[in-house]
Amino acid sequence: MTNRTENPPVPDPGAAAPDAVEVAVEAVPATPKGAGQRLARRPSVLPVLEKLFELYPQLFGTEFLPLKLGIFQELLARHPDHLERNSLKAALGVHTRSTAYLQGVAAGKPRHDLQGAPVEAVAPEHVYLALLELFRRRQGRSAQDLRPKLRKQVMTAFEASGLSSQDYQTRMHGNDEDANALLTEAFAEYDQERARQEALRRAFEASGKTVAEFAAMYGLDARDVNRALARQASERNETSPRSAGADASSGANPA
């Protein structure tokens, strides 16, 4: 695929939910360049952001934690004298589209309630969309192709999602062809790396040598060999029980 850093993939705004606050918190749609700054300069938004920081510094302070779904209504109900619906919606839109907030979502941090307690995981789709949006912003300021880094980040998010490869790709597939192509490339690289590690494991087990001897024989770093073997062992331990359970279920109920 041709690298086109001038036209990086962005989330599909057409997939957004109708409620502006839930869109901001859940789907993280792309924001036109400079729109966040324009919103933040509105007189009705800055005082609300300052009030949110005053009331909940653990959520709106130095660290922007992902917010639980429905927190907009909770804020309105708890602070009817301080927070007005439209200005709160605009303020939360600015907050949840900020780079700092998206970084928390992209890192897979859990959603938090008003007490600052983690209450639920961020959906894999939202992590993925946050990664794409951060990439779009960073690529627009960089002459370097950031796609390789994004592919690795997406694979880290995939591994943390608990989804199968097929399920993850199906759920993340959207209308943006560049983003879809990047997702396909990421999984192709991932599968190649897993195949390489599996070949290394087989060669090591057949060699009858220690890790240090095996690494020296092939000019490898023993630490890399140890990591690859540990990863293979971990993947076998994770997949074997699930495969056995799936097989048992299939035998018990073919339908």
Same domain for 116 and 214: no
Q: How far apart are CA 27 and CA 12, in angstroms?
A: 9
Task: With respect to residue 1, please indicate whether it lies within any of the assigned structural domains.
Answer: no
Mean pLDDT by 10 residues, the chain (255 residues): 37 35 41 46 78 95 94 96 94 96 97 96 97 96 95 96 96 95 95 87 88 88 84 67 42 39
Nearest partner of 128 among 233, 245, 42, 9, judged by Cα? 9
Task: With respect to residue 113, please indicate whether it lies within any of the assigned structural domains.
Answer: yes
pLDDT (tens digit per residue) in 112-163: 999 999 999 999 999 999 999 999 999 999 999 999 999 999 999 999 999 9
pLDDT value for 33: 46
Task: With respect to residue 186, please indicate whether it lies within any of the assigned structural domains.
Answer: yes
pLDDT value for 198: 85
Q: Work out how many domains the chain is built from and give that number.
A: 2
According to DSSP H, which parts of the chain are helical?
A: 20-22, 35-40, 46-55, 57-60, 71-78, 85-96, 99-106, 124-139, 147-161, 165-172, 177-207, 211-218, 222-252
* Host domain of residue 213: 177-252
Place of tokens 């199906």: 170
Same domain for 114 and 218: no
pLDDT value for 233: 77
For 234, the enclosing helix (H) or strand (E) is helix 222-252
Task: With respect to residue 163, please indicate whether it lies within any of the assigned structural domains.
Answer: no
- Give Cβ neighbours of residue 188 (< 8 Å, ≥ 6 apart): none
Same domain for 113 and 223: no
